[in-house]
Chains A and B, each alone.
Chain A
Amino acid sequence: MRAMFTVFAKEFVENLRDRRTLMSALLFGPLFGPLLFGAMVSRMLDQSLVESDQPPRLTVSGGDHAPGLVQYLQSQGVKLAFATLSEDGARIAVRSGREQVVLLIPTEFATRFKAALPAPLLLVADSADSQTRKVADRARQVLAAYGSGIAQLRLQIRGVSPLLAVPVAVQDVDVATPAGRAVMVLGFMTYFVLFAMLMGGLYLAIDSTAGERERGSLEALLSLPVARASLVGGKILATCTYMCASLAISLTAFVVVFRFVPLERLGMSANLGMATALEFFAICLPFIPLGAALMTLVASFTRSYREAQTYLTSVLLIPTLPIAFASIYSLKTQSSLMLIPSLSQHLLMTSVLKQEPIAAADALVSGASSLSIATLLIVLTARHWRREAMLK
């Protein structure tokens, strides 16, 4: 136990003195996620706000044939530009991007409209372009509204109740809470949290194993009258400590960043205050020994710093797999999933974000499964350190 603490203290101090790795572990890793995230979300918000606020712009050709429609569009706030284009000309103009969306009103519109026959309108747009698709959708809505208004008038004139033409009335009821809507945006934040946490211990895990071998201090260390399990324990404990630090920094950074991201303007609430951050910390805590032991074990098999870095970069991706799986199949929190580390942490954190209650059993299972796998990995690491292959 004393030897373990000695190893821990030495690894802790040694890593603390390495400015470059410290910057990477405690600044770059934990801050990268929140900053990138804040910037991305702000930009997404800006864009969607601009789109919903601004009226669509339409280029109208043949407006003379339908003065009523043109008037209606203008009254609905649609910005109109007038041009004279043939059908082919309109296609070319839209395809080349010169015009966004073109409304073509053919000559026969007027006669057919007067005869109460379906009057043709051509809406030329490029549906592969997400921007113009949105404009075209808005235009379609306005045109549909115009059409149903005219239809109701025609029925009324003929003495028929317009309500007959509306057999069903559908109302959208959206039960998503503001916090729930934000989860879609914040969904992959949990990965950044896990990533930052692993980054915090990455260098120490390498330095205390492959680094020790590479600089030639391993053999002297192994000749000491100290149980290998104590050596491994001390090293993993030091790695855990740095992972805790980077987790704390990363969560604090998220709290700060989301102060400045105006999620409320989209009717969302981030629910990311200090209390949530503490809950996140508690949820992630059992994952820390697991990550530390996994990185130490993998790095113990490698011969050099460089080799260890290569392998551990793949280890950093492992926690993404269950999370990616979860988002593809939109998995919901359920007890059996709590057995899978990283996925269980992801689901629990998502629940906290959504302000859903967390079952104590779920949190317990998540913690216990992560801790048992951690124990297994620590035992495997200690066993590997007892092998002669450690020296080669």
Chain B
Amino acid sequence: MIEARDLCKRFGAVDAVRQVSFTARNGEITGLLGPNGAGKSTCLRMLYGVLSPDSGSACIDGADIRGETSAARAHLGVLPHAAGLYDNLTARENIAYFGALHGIGRYRLRERTAELARSLGLEHVMERRVRGFSQGQRIKVALARALVHDPGNLILDEPTNGLDVMAIRNLRDMLRALKAQGRCILFSSHVMQEVAALCDRVVVIGGGRVLADDTPQALRERSGAASLEEAFLHLLGGVEGVV
């Protein structure tokens, strides 16, 4: 479970995130929806501990995320916006590197990489250097890397960026499978269809604030809009400078 409580973050004169609170539950996919510059990435970065909030707090499975070696990090897998890989390492080495940094023993790591390779369909490319991998293959490796320590929670920052239709479909299937395993999945997107297709819950962010936090169904009903897109625009209508 991922909990954000009154998160605030300023960059100079800009209030990037203002008092953001929400909860992403286990066995659910939560979508963080908002236009570019709404503060989604800043919010997620505070949740996975590379930015520290000016005020407020964030907990992963009840453990505070702050601190370089916080226990919260051990329960969290992260696929950042730029999910860069090490081109001169093989897919296996890329995944194993993060596993080793999580303190997983060699034997367990071998088992776990084999498991991930199987479930993500990476078996035939595991020993190849990732230089020259397609975007779809890269995202799979990055996802395997984020899941290597078998975390109960997964944060993905705009994971579908730059992927083709097939790869996006694949990613959705993978996320659904992870959800079925009872994990808590939180991802950000500015693409409506993606959120509608995947999420159990949507947190709409605009201008650094939470504008709505509900199921896609309830969001549509509440705004009286036929589609989620209209509901979204309706919600953002109240925020200055966003639309």
Contacts and interface: CB of A to CB of B under 8 A. Distances in A.
B19 interface: no
B50 A391 contact: yes
Contacts of B22: none
B48 interface: yes
B74 interface: yes
A223 B71 contact: no
Given A215-B87, A220-B98, A220-B142, A225 B73 contact: yes
6 contacts: A6-B100, A10-B93, A17-B88, A217-B82, A220-B84, A220-B146
Contacts of B118: none
B51 A217 contact: no
Contact of A18 (B52, B79, B88): B88
A3 B146 CA distance: 17
A100 to B, nearest CB: 61
A216 B76 contact: no
Interface string B52-86: 10000000000000001111011010111111111
B49 interface: yes
Contacts of A3: 100-101, 103
A386 B68 CA distance: 8
A2 interface: yes
Interface range, B side: 35 or more
Given A215-B85, A225-B69, A225-B70, 10 more contacts: A10-B97, A13-B93, A17-B88, A17-B89, A217-B84, A220-B83, A223-B49, A223-B76, A224-B101, A225-B73
A121 B106 CA distance: 92
A241 B26 CA distance: 45
Interface string B96-130: 01101111000000000000000000000000010
B45 interface: yes
A225 B82 contact: no
Contacts, number: 86
A388 B84 contact: no
A222 interface: yes
A2 B88 contact: no
A6 B69 CA distance: 16
A224 B73 contact: yes
Q: Which 6 A-B pairs have the closest CB atoms?
A: A216-B82, A216-B84, A225-B73, A217-B84, A219-B80, A215-B84
A65 to B, nearest CB: 82
Nearest to A226: B101
Interface string A8-24: 00100110011000000
Contacts of A223: 48-50, 73, 76, 78, 80
A315 interface: no
A227 interface: yes
B84 to A, nearest CB: 3
Chain A interface bracket (under 10, 10 to 19, 20 to 34, 35 or more): 20 to 34
B25 interface: no
B68 A225 contact: yes
A7 interface: yes
A346 interface: no
Contacts of B51: 388, 391
Nearest to B65: A223
The secondary-structure label for the interface of chain A is helix
B145 interface: yes
B133 to A, nearest CB: 13
Interface in B151-201: none
Contacts of A235: none
A348 to B, nearest CB: 38
Interface string A205-220: 0000000000111111
A18 B129 CA distance: 12
Contacts of A225: 68-71, 73-74, 102-103
A388 to B, nearest CB: 5
A57 interface: no
Interface in B135-158: 142, 145-146
Interface in A207-257: 215-228
Contacts of A228: 68
Nearest to A21: B88
Contacts of A7: 101
Contacts of B81: 216, 219
A216 B78 CA distance: 13
Most chain B C-beta atoms within 10 Å of own C-beta, residue among A13, A17, A225: A225
A29 to B, nearest CB: 20
A265 to B, nearest CB: 49
B68 A217 contact: no
A6 B100 CA distance: 7
Contact of A226 (B69, B78, B87): B69
Contacts of B71: 225
A386 B74 CA distance: 19
Nearest to B84: A216
Contacts of A2: 103
A216 B100 contact: no
Nearest to B70: A225
Nearest to B145: A220
B114 to A, nearest CB: 20
B101 to A, nearest CB: 5
A147 B47 CA distance: 96
A354 to B, nearest CB: 45
A17 B86 CA distance: 11
B102 A10 contact: no
Contacts of B88: 13-14, 17-18
Nearest to B68: A227
Nearest to B94: A217
